[in-house]
Homo-oligomer: A and B are copies of this chain.
Amino acid sequence: MLINITFESDVPIYLQLREQIIVGIASGELQPGEPLPSVRRMASDIGINLHTVNKTYTILKEEGFITIDRRKGTEVAEHSKPNENFSRNLESGLTALAAQAKCKQISLEDFISLASDAFKNLTQKG
């Protein structure tokens, strides 16, 4: 799994890492049950602090994307169903993007097409 952090970004490192791991899982590059590198390993691979990776793993665990097994370490969780909180966040995220797109004269058809492509591109990597 290739991680690519933009240090100049105003998106915090731990969130960039979170997103890339989620994309990795969604695309099938990271399979359920597959182990993730230890916080120390991941940190040294990327060249960031161990605590930053730890924060990402903790969040991913709380969101149900990974599990921290006491024997086997960190691994990709079985895919679960969205809870209410997740659905709310997803909808508000889509609304924010839709609003921006509409202001920029992107049509409903084009927006759907972009959303569809984003989803399908994940599959192609798997």
Residues of A whose CB lies within 8 Å of any CB of B are: 7-10, 12-13, 19, 22-23, 25-27, 48, 65, 67-72, 79-82, 86, 90-91, 93-106, 108, 111-112, 114-116, 118-123
Are the C-beta atoms of B112 and A19 separated by less than 8 Å?
no
Are the C-beta atoms of B82 and A106 separated by less than 8 Å?
yes
Neighbour of A122 across the interface among B68, B99, B112, B118, CB < 8 A: B99
Are the C-beta atoms of A99 and B26 separated by less than 8 Å?
yes
Given contacts A105-B80, A112-B112, A116-B108, contact A99 B19 (CB under 8 A): yes
28 CB < 8 A contacts A-B? A7-B69, A8-B70, A9-B70, A12-B70, A19-B96, A22-B99, A22-B103, A23-B95, A23-B96, A25-B99, A26-B98, A65-B103, A79-B105, A82-B105, A86-B100, A90-B106, A93-B93, A94-B97, A95-B118, A97-B118, A99-B122, A102-B119, A108-B116, A108-B119, A108-B120, A111-B116, A112-B112, A112-B116
